[in-house]
């Protein structure tokens, strides 16, 4: 048993947690609107920068800054949907897909105008983070990493409870299943879609700020995050929340274990993700938890 | 209770209905039959504001329904079961029923409504925690009808309730309709399965190319030579 195993598992969990936060939102949006939101990674990037502005530039304490990030991202999601996607709701699904690519580019441009294109960091010069050594020093864990894991687990449990047990959550699933029937039962479709956008973008924003807490911020950080979240939902089965989490775990563990135990260098992580994705599409095109696509023909 | 007069409607393009007249009295079962493309479903959709209405009126207890929002229509006591498997497949039976009462917030009332539906459909109670996508076509149709009954409507609109079901199950569905009517709910349905639907109906309308052709009691239409030749395969 190599000594680095606990550390690699820990890093895998961290990566999986972030991917899961972004992938669940992406899969929720797909479930309800039937399109892949290519701006989703950029929503995460915006979340990271909003936190930077509030906590680092304005110096607000985190317990004020984090709720504000959540509120800003949720509002951003709702407004963007109302302005850009609602008008094309009846169009074929490539229309919103192309629009989302444009939104991503726009968000990157706006952030660049305000913050510049250089890499930024939350870390304050000279400040020390708490570090814990476990398993006789073979596993080093920082406080911020523990916060990431706990936040992710709480958010995912919260989302599960919301969807399974609240009236609005059930309505969300009903709309995802059959929008037309949901509307004739008096379920407000526009409101439900807004709620989903708010949740999905807020979760992405939190994911973005958490990863920026651990690494750095850059305007282009969303691209790789979006791609990995996309791969996660394909791996797990599109439109399935549990599938998104499972897919995130497969990718988080896959890239870290392979980089950790094979001679493949770390900058090949993205390539590994895509290799996993292609392999999956060959073996099980519907994803690990996905169901066979229903036949369009009515019996 | 429902009075449709001179209704002309379509979906933005050419009109599908041309001056159609239909009425339903309280406690009646009324069936609209006619060939494919006659505009039968369009009538039900028009009641729910899902079409572009060019002229005519849809009065419900002497109040105009055209332009009224879906939520309000449901509150006034009309529920609609669209064609096909109009259930939420990934939701359980109970969750499907809860969605039927979405516009209600009083939990005690919802509970009472659910007890009413389970009493009408004991099978659904047995399977209340089952996801509806794992159920048979007949059971799914029962879920859809049960869901529409959650608000104990005065008028139930059924679009081809028997489509895709085995003959034995078809009878079961129509027996349920009689049972539902006993609870004080009138039914307006659209059916391809004209023979059996008419035999369960008080009155019927024959629609052709978006226009009224023949109307009469269920028995009259079943005996009517023209109807028999055209739609009942006699």
DSSP secondary structure string, B87-133? S-TTSBHHHHHHHHTTT---HHHHHHHHHHHHHH-HHHHHTTTSBGG
Q: Which residue of B70, B74, B88 to mutate against A (max A Cβ within 10 Å)? A: B88
Confidence class for position A126, pLDDT limits 50, 70, 90: low
Distance CA B97, CA A112 (A): 50
Looking at the fold, whether B49 and B122 belong to one and the same domain comes out as no
Residues B91, A186: C-beta atoms closer than 8 Å: no
Point out the residues of chain B with pLDDT beneath 70: 232-234
pLDDT of amino acid B234: 59
Looking at the fold, whether B164 and B230 belong to one and the same domain comes out as yes
A184 touches chain B (CB under 8 A): yes
Q: Is the model's pLDDT at A259 over the cut of 70? A: yes
Q: How far apart are the first and last CA of chain A?
A: 56
Chain-centroid distance of CA A178 in Å reads 25
Q: Would you say B71 and A187 are in contact if contact means Cβ atoms under 8 Å apart?
A: no
pLDDT in tens, A9-65: 999 999 999 999 999 999 999 999 888 999 999 999 999 999 999 999 999 988 899
pLDDT of amino acid A89: 87
pLDDT of amino acid A128: 66
Residues A299, B164: C-beta atoms closer than 8 Å: yes
pLDDT of amino acid A262: 86
C-alpha distance from A43 to closest chain B C-alpha (Å):
29
pLDDT of amino acid B224: 83
Of A176, A187, A298, the CB nearest to B102: A187
Distance CA B89, CA B132 (A): 5
Residues B74, A171: C-beta atoms closer than 8 Å: no
Any idea what the CATH number is for the domain that residue B3 is in? 3.40.50.300
Looking at the fold, whether B123 and B164 belong to one and the same domain comes out as no
- Ranking A26-30, A66-70, A293-297, B71-75 by mean pLDDT, the lowest is A293-297
Q: In what order do the strands lie in the sheet with B63-64?
A: B15-24, B2-10, B52-60, B63-64
pLDDT of amino acid A205: 96
Q: Is the model's pLDDT at A294 over the cut of 50? A: no
Looking at the fold, whether B67 and B164 belong to one and the same domain comes out as yes
pLDDT of amino acid A85: 93
Confidence class for position A299, pLDDT limits 50, 70, 90: very low
Looking at the fold, whether B12 and B72 belong to one and the same domain comes out as yes
Looking at the fold, whether B41 and B98 belong to one and the same domain comes out as no
pLDDT of amino acid B141: 92
Q: Is the model's pLDDT at A293 over the cut of 90? A: no
The answer to whether ipTM exceeds 0.95 is: no
pLDDT of amino acid B233: 65
Structure tokens at A88: 């094309």
Q: What is the 3-state secondary structure (H, E, C) of A55-88?
A: HHHCCCCHHHHHHHHHHHHHHHHHHHHHHHHHHH
Q: Would you say A152 and A14 are in contact if contact means Cβ atoms under 8 Å apart?
A: no
Distance CA B19, CA A178 (A): 32
| DSSP classification of residue B171 | H
Residues B99, A171: C-beta atoms closer than 8 Å: yes
Range of the domain at B48: 1-77+153-234
Looking at the fold, whether B128 and B37 belong to one and the same domain comes out as no
Q: What is the mean pLDDT of chain A?
A: 89
Looking at the fold, whether B140 and B157 belong to one and the same domain comes out as no
Q: Which residue of A has its CA nearest to B50?
A: A184
- Give which of A34, A27, A44, A40 is closest to A241, Cα–Cα: A27
- Cβ within 8 Å of residue B111, ≥6 positions away: none
CB count within 10 Å of CB B233 equals 8
Number of domains in chain B: 2
Domain final residue pick, B152, B180, B203: B152
CB count within 10 Å of CB B142 equals 26
Distance CA B57, CA B20 (A): 10
Q: Chain A partners of B88 at a C-beta cutoff of 8 Å?
A: 173-174, 177-178, 181-182
Q: What's the pTM? A: 0.88
Residues A177, B98: C-beta atoms closer than 8 Å: no
pLDDT of amino acid A291: 67
Domain final residue pick, B98, B119, B152: B152
A174 touches chain B (CB under 8 A): yes
pLDDT in tens, A221-242: 999 899 999 999 999 888 889 9
Of A167, A173, A186, the CB nearest to B91: A173
Domain final residue pick, B97, B124, B152: B152
pLDDT in tens, A127-164: 667 788 887 777 888 888 898 999 999 999 999 999 99
Q: Which residue of A184, A239, A242, A291 to mutate against B (max B Cβ within 10 Å)? A: A184
Chain B residues near any Cβ of chain A (below 8 Å)? 48, 50, 70-71, 74-75, 80, 82, 84, 86-91, 95, 98-100, 102-103, 137, 147, 164
């Amino acid at each position: 048993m190599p000594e680095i195993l606990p550390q690699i598992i820990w890093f895998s969990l961290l990566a999986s947690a972030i991917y899961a936060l972004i992938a669940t939102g992406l899969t929720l949006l797909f479930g309800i609107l039937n399109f892949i939101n290519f701006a989703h990674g950029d929503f995460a990037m915006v979340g990271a920068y909003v936190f930077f502005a509030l906590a680092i530039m304005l110096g607000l304490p985190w317990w004020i800054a984090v709720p504000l990030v959540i509120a800003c991202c949720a509002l951003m999601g709702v407004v963007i949907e109302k302005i850009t996607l609602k008008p094309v709701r009846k169009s074929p699904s490539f229309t919103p897909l192309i629009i989302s690519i444009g939104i991503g580019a726009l968000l990157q441009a706006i952030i660049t105008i305000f913050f510049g294109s250089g890499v930024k960091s939350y870390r304050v010069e000279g400040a020390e983070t708490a570090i814990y050594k476990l398993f006789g020093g073979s596993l080093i864990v920082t406080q911020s990493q523990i916060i990431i894991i706990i936040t992710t687990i709480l958010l995912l449990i919260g989302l599960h409870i919301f969807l399974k047990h609240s009236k609005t959550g059930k309505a969300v699933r009903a709309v995802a299943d059959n929008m037309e029937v949901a509307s004739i039962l008096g379920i407000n479709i526009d409101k439900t879609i807004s709620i989903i956008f708010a949740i999905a973008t807020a979760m992405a924003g939190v994911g973005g700020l958490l990863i920026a807490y651990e690494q750095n911020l850059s305007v282009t950080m969303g691209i790789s995050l979006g791609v990995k979240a996309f791969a996660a939902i394909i791996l797990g089965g599109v439109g399935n929340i549990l599938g998104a989490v499972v897919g995130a775990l497969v990718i988080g563990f896959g890239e870290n274990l392979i980089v950790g135990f094979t001679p493949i260098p770390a900058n090949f992580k993205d390539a590994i993700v895509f290799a996993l994705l292609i392999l999956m599409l060959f073996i099980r095109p519907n994803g690990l938890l996905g169901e066979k696509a229903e036949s369009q023909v009515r019996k | 209770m429902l009075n449709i007069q001179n209704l002309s409607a379509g979906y933005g393009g050419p009109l599908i209905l041309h001056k159609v007249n239909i009425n339903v009295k309280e406690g009646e079962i009324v069936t609209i039959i006619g060939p494919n493309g006659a505009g039968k479903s369009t009538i039900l959709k028009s009641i729910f504001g899902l079409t572009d209405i060019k002229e005519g009126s849809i009065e419900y207890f002497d109040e105009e329904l055209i332009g009224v929002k879906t939520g309000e229509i449901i509150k006034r006591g009309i529920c609609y079961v669209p064609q096909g498997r109009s259930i939420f497949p990934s939701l359980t039976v109970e969750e499907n029923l809860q969605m039927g009462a979405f516009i209600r917030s009083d939990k005690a009332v919802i509970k009472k409504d659910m007890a009413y539906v389970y009493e009408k459909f004991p099978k659904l109670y047995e399977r209340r925690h089952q996801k509806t996508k794992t159920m048979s076509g007949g059971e799914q149709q029962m879920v859809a009808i049960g869901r529409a009954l959650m608000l104990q409507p005065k008028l139930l609109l059924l679009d081809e309730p028997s489509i895709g079901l085995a003959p034995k199950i078809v009878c079961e569905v129509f027996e349920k309709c009689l049972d539902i009517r006993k609870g004080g709910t009138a039914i307006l349905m659209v059916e391809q399965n004209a023979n059996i639907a008419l035999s369960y109906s008080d009155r019927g309308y024959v629609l052709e190319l978006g226009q009224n052709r023949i109307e009469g009691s269920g028995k009259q239409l079943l005996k009517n030579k023209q109807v028999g030749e055209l739609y009942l395969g006699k």
